[in-house]
């Protein structure tokens, strides 16, 4: 199989490398079933977008979580259900959300991340990066990894398996699809009154994947502590760009 045939973008190239043992027999990733009529959602609330943007305006990344009260798992489930409605390449739904609540497991995750972050901050990161991060007041110590009642580890599935487990299936745009789904998760968490922090632990993916016993086709994309802010929690004094700075009309 010449990689040139599939060389549409970098991701495809990566997939070709990953999928060298794919069968040559071609199979559609969706079953070849007739289409069904689309029933559009009724817009009962003409101010929906305005209210939604106001809801989202209140979202902030926080780094200080309280362990109590612990939100119900059913709320987290609803949020992940919402994330699961995201569009994905060829409807492959290439995501796995691992929800961690066990204190012992959170301690192990914290140990892995802090060990790597110490190296990141002291050696790996460019001095300009460390300087750019100074306003966020971060360092390698990650209390939120044991304090937050939930850690959601978001894995992108770089490929999938057919129903009988015998064939690998290409997961197109798995990183973009999983990122979009996680954006929807952030919105749902906000709607549920929960706070979170998007983190991308550098170099920790394989160790965390192994810790959770996840398969090798899954790669860690985002680690999201979720919960309520601790009393006295502060956030950087940031402003957001105005509409005129992010939207261009033609």
Q: Which of 92, 108, 196, 199 binds ligand IYR (CB under 6 A)?
A: 199
- By beta-carbon proximity to ligand IYR, the closer residue of 27 and 200 is 200
Show the site string, 98-117: x = touches ligand IYR by CB under 6 A, - = not.
-------------------x
Q: Could you say whether residue 96 binds ligand IYR (CB under 6 A)?
A: no
Q: How far is CA 98 from the centre of its chain?
A: 10
- By beta-carbon proximity to ligand IYR, the closer residue of 11 and 61 is 61
Count of residues near ligand IYR by CB under 6 A: 6
- By beta-carbon proximity to ligand IYR, the closer residue of 29 and 138 is 138
C-alpha Rg value of the chain to the nearest Å: 20
Cβ 129 to ligand IYR shortest distance, Å:
7
The answer to whether 149 and 67 have CB atoms below 8 angstroms apart is: yes
Q: Could you say whether residue 218 binds ligand IYR (CB under 6 A)?
A: no
- By beta-carbon proximity to ligand IYR, the closer residue of 92 and 182 is 182
Calculate the alpha carbon distances from 98 to 51, 82, 85, 117, 207 in Å. Answer: 30, 15, 17, 21, 14
| Nearest residue (beta carbon) to ligand IYR | 138
Cβ 116 to ligand IYR shortest distance, Å:
9
- Site residues for ligand IYR, 14-73, by CB under 6 A, read none
Q: Which of 49, 55, 119, 136 binds ligand IYR (CB under 6 A)?
A: 136
Cβ 236 to ligand IYR shortest distance, Å:
10
Q: Could you say whether residue 138 binds ligand IYR (CB under 6 A)?
A: yes
Q: Which of 49, 55, 119, 133 binds ligand IYR (CB under 6 A)?
A: 133
Can you give the binding site for ligand IYR, defined by CB under 6 A? Answer: 117, 133, 136, 138, 199, 202
């Amino acid at each position: 199989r010449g990689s040139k045939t599939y060389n549409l973008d970098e991701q495809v190239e990566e997939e070709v490398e990953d999928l060298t043992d794919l069968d040559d027999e071609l199979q559609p990733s969706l079953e070849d079933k007739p289409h069904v009529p689309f029933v559009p959602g009724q817009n009962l609330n003409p101010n929906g977008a305005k209210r939604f943007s106001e809801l989202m305006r209140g979202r902030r990344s926080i780094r200080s979580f309280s362990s109590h009260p612990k939100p119900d798992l059913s709320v987290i489930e609803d949020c992940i259900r919402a994330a699961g409605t995201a569009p994905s390449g060829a409807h492959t739904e290439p995501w796995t959300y691992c929800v961690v609540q066990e204190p012992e497991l959170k301690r192990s995750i914290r140990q892995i991340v802090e060990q790597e972050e110490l190296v990141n901050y002291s050696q790996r990161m460019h001095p300009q990066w460390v300087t750019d991060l100074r306003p966020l007041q971060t360092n390698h110590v990650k209390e939120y990894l044991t304090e937050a009642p939930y850690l959601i580890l978001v894995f992108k599935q770089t490929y999938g398996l057919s129903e009988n487990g015998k064939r690998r299936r290409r997961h197109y745009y798995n990183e973009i699809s999983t990122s979009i789904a996680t954006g929807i998760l952030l919105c749902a968490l906000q709607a549920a009154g929960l706070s979170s922090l998007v983190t991308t632990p550098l170099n920790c993916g394989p160790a965390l994947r192994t810790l959770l016993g996840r398969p090798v086709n899954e790669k860690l994309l985002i680690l999201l502590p979720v919960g309520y802010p601790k009393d006295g929690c502060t956030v950087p004094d940031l402003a957001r760009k105005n509409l005129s700075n992010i939207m261009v009309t033609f």
